[in-house]
């Protein structure tokens, strides 16, 4: 069976003064999803953007042929539920949150899905996957952090590879259609190792937006994925 790989550029590293154009450019360059990093200066020590920006970008999240490109919202916020609902209304296609940021993880998942949006759980570098024993049947996405959340441009933490392997086994054993996404420090020269560990979806911020030629980087990533 061949894996479908998805590249999800993180607009955290885009030019915030030209966000709409940046979303269009990176979609023209071949982005599969748009990764939208929401930070609240509470769960993480940084502050980014909220549902109004997501809503403003939604009309730009489509290919030149008019095909919608999913907006992949990564919530680094606590509490989770109220803002997750606002993001669902603002056009998010997937919403992921950190289980340690919600008092009631199962309820938060249900609340996201009740809005018709796909739900994901995100795991920090030092966090175990134990909660998946009780939630895997409910979710559409597992997001493994390969840096500590809060900032772009950090180095990939190698222990994430073992965690990706573990998550891949859990997904395969479940038989469910669940994306395995990895976030942090992904570049052209390590994306193959991350895929070999079992990931199918790759967030990349600085690797793409840090270079003038977005398509060049995305093409090289796809070439490395084979
Ligand atoms: C970190 C964010 C990441 C970040 C990745 O908290 O969740 O999505 O933008 O950036 P790079 O690819 O630069 O490590
Ligand atoms: Zn992210």
pLDDT digit string, tens, across residues 72-82: 999 999 999 99
* 183 classed as catalytic: yes
Q: How confident is the model at residue 1 (pLDDT cuts 50, 70, 90)?
A: low
Number of Cβ within 10 Å of residue 41's Cβ equals: 12
Per the residue annotation, which of 72, 140, 183, 200 is the catalytic one? 183
Which amino acids bring their CB within 6 angstroms of ligand 1? 10, 12-13, 35, 37, 74, 76, 147, 149-150, 152-154, 183-186, 203-207
Is residue 62 predicted with pLDDT exceeding 80?
yes
Spacing, Cα 206 to ligand 1 middle (Å): 7
Q: 202 - beta bridge partners?
A: 7, 182
Name which residue sits closest to atom 10 of ligand 1, judged by CA: 152
Strands 141-145 and 179-183 turn out to be parallel
Give dist(CA 48, CA 60) in Å, integer: 19
Ligand 1 atom having least distance to the Cα of 205: 12
Q: What is the mean pLDDT of residues 109-125?
A: 98
pLDDT of residue 127: 98
> Confidence band (pLDDT; 50, 70, 90) for 93?
very high
Q: Residue of the nearest CA to atom 4 in ligand 1?
A: 152
Instruction: Band the pLDDT of 140: cuts 50, 70, 90.
Output: very high
Contacts of 65 (CB under 8 A, 6+ apart): none
Section 193-218 average pLDDT: 98
Q: Which residues contact 84 (CB under 8 A, 6 or more apart)?
A: 75, 95, 97, 108, 111, 112
Ion ligand 2: residues, CB within 5 A, are 37, 74, 183
By alpha-carbon position, which residue is closest to atom 9 of ligand 1?
152
- Tell whether the model's pLDDT for residue 95 goes beyond 70: yes
DSSP string covering 89-119, please?
HTT-SEEEE-GGG-S-HHHHHHHHHTTT-EE
The percent of residues above 70 in pLDDT, for the chain, comes to 100
Q: Is 100 annotated as catalytic? A: no
| Mean pLDDT, all residues of the chain | 98
pLDDT at 85 over 70: yes
Across 201-216, average pLDDT: 98
pLDDT of residue 2: 82
pLDDT in tens, 3-55: 999 999 999 999 999 999 999 999 999 999 999 999 999 999 999 999 999 99
Which residue in 28, 37, 72, 140 is the catalytic one? 37
Out of 8, 9, 11, 12, mutate this one to test ligand 1's pocket (max ligand atoms within 8 Å of CB): namely: 12
């Amino acid at each position: 069976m061949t894996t479908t790989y998805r590249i999800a550029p993180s607009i955290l590293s885009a030019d915030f003064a030209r966000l709409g154009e940046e979303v269009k450019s990176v979609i023209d360059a071949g982005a599969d999803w748009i990764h939208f990093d929401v930070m609240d200066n509470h769960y993480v020590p940084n502050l980014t953007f909220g549902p109004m920006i997501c809503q403003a970008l939604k009309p730009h999240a489509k290919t030149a042929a008019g095909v919608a490109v999913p907006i992949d919202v990564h919530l680094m916020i606590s509490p989770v539920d109220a803002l997750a609902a606002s993001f669902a209304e603002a056009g998010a296609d997937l919403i992921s949150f950190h289980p340690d940021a919600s008092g009631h993880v199962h309820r938060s998942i249900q609340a996201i899905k009740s809005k018709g949006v796909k739900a994901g759980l995100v795991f920090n570098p030092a966090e175990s996957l134990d909660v998946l024993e009780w939630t895997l049947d409910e979710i559409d996405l597992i997001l493994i952090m390969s840096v500590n959340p809060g900032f772009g441009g950090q180095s990939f933490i190698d222990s994430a590879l073992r965690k990706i392997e573990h998550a891949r086994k859990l997904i395969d054993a479940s038989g469910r259609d669940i994306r395995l996404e990895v976030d942090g420090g992904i570049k052209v020269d390590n994306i193959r190792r991350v895929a070999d560990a079992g990931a199918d979806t790759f967030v990349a911020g600085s690797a793409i937006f840090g270079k003038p030629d977005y398509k060049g980087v995305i093409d090289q990533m796809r070439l490395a994925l084979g």
